[in-house]
Structure 1
């Protein structure tokens, strides 16, 4: 049997959402046909995330359709834990290399991070009013640096699409137009969770995050 991990953090969160949908239908819907449809839909969405997985791991994914209680959902998700892929290994030196102009870069406490529950790294430096974001790309990482402005009310985070305490993250556009002046700069901003740990717990897909990164990188 192949026990190769294959579930990224955001995929795990997406599957959790599908299991919760099934549980919600069981609790609120009286029509067995509708419940069966929700079960089938959740199963298809969980399996479709991993088209190349065809061994016993697929059978485990498919069993989402069999949950009947909150306890079943918890057991199902615990069964997926051994298959979670950790965020790629990264060192403080590697992070410093992503921000070469920041000589006094404040680093996150990597020892305190459960990397199986991370889709991206983010942290703030209150002293400089800076936010930093690190995301895997190819065989390495990309790093974004920008200002953050706290919001007075909750709003939707562009990365996890949940209503949370957010900050406006304004990252400097990396690519300059031809013949641009030395002091040229342009920022790309959006609202993101103030707490990266909460965001990583919520995020169920990385498309919006990757679009933002591409917009900043140019």
Structure 2
């Protein structure tokens, strides 16, 4: 069996391409157009992974043989065992990431869908704060920031979907060499209030990792 190698955002990208290809089969009569969509879907999937082994590429390339709705559904389910889950974290580990918050309100770790999570995110209404936990370069990182509701739909910078969003503003830890003691820089962006929905839609972690880098330096 192939070792799990698909991250959550990559799995989301694959299922998005599956939907596009299935839609083409159902609505387009010109086979040249369908073949073009198929080629594009397979290319985008392979591109999302960079280096893959022969076995991994063979598995990903099976999309080109799919035709019926049943084929697409079975293929998506068959890929799930190859998804790398988000590292299971304990309440103690989360509290350590945010050790300055003595009354930290954290999610129930037992209820987290690790298999379909790119990041962990939650809101503490009592303190108007938003918290984000992410794994980067093998290290679990925690970021907290101010939570400002927009009371309307905005485009989330992480998943690029129009959803109920909030402005997430974190204080950057990076400082210019000659900065004064009271130097302050905030990094902010709009993101989904409900991280579960965001995690189901994210297909690229570039913007998320850039944001994190701007905060932690």
Compute the TM-score of the two structures, normalised by the length of structure 2. 0.93
CA distance in 1 between counterparts of 2:175 and 2:59 reads: 49
CA shift, 1:69, in A, is 2.9
Gaps in structure 2 of 5+ consecutive residues: none
- 1:84 equivalent to 2:63? Answer no
Q: 1:125-161, CA deviations, whole angstroms, 9 ceiling, x for partnerless residues?
A: 0000100001102232111111111112211100001
- The 10-residue stretch of structure 1 (27-36 or 205-214) with the greater mean CA deviation from structure 2: 27-36
CA distance in 1 between counterparts of 2:192 and 2:22 reads: 27
CA distance in 1 between counterparts of 2:74 and 2:2 reads: 18
In the other structure, the counterpart of 1:36 is 35
Change (3 A) 1:52 1:59: closer
In the other structure, the counterpart of 2:192 is 193
CA shift, 1:179, in A, is 4.5
In the other structure, the counterpart of 2:59 is 60
CA shift, 1:45, in A, is 2.1
The runs of at least 4 consecutive aligned structure 1 residues that moved more than 6 Å come to none
Q: 1:74-129, CA deviations, whole angstroms, 9 ceiling, x for partnerless residues?
A: 11100101111111232222211211211111111110012010000100100001
CA shift, 1:71, in A, is 2.4
Corresponding residue SS for 2:118: coil
- 1:168 equivalent to 2:180? Answer no
In the other structure, the counterpart of 2:153 is 154
CA distance in 2 between counterparts of 1:76 and 1:69 reads: 11
Task: Report matched runs for 1:66-215 at 5 Å.
Answer: 66-177=65-176, 178-181=178-181, 183-215=182-214
CA distance in 1 between counterparts of 2:139 and 2:95 reads: 13
Corresponding residue SS for 1:159: coil
- The 10-residue stretch of structure 1 (62-71 or 8-17) with the greater mean CA deviation from structure 2: 62-71
CA shift, 1:46, in A, is 1.9
- RMSD between aligned residues: 1.5
Q: 1:15-53, CA deviations, whole angstroms, 9 ceiling, x for partnerless residues?
A: 011111101211222211110111112122223333322
CA shift, 1:180, in A, is 2.5
CA distance in 2 between counterparts of 1:81 and 1:139 reads: 22
Gaps in structure 1 of 5+ consecutive residues: none
CA distance in 2 between counterparts of 1:137 and 1:60 reads: 26
Paired residue total: 215
Corresponding residue SS for 2:158: coil
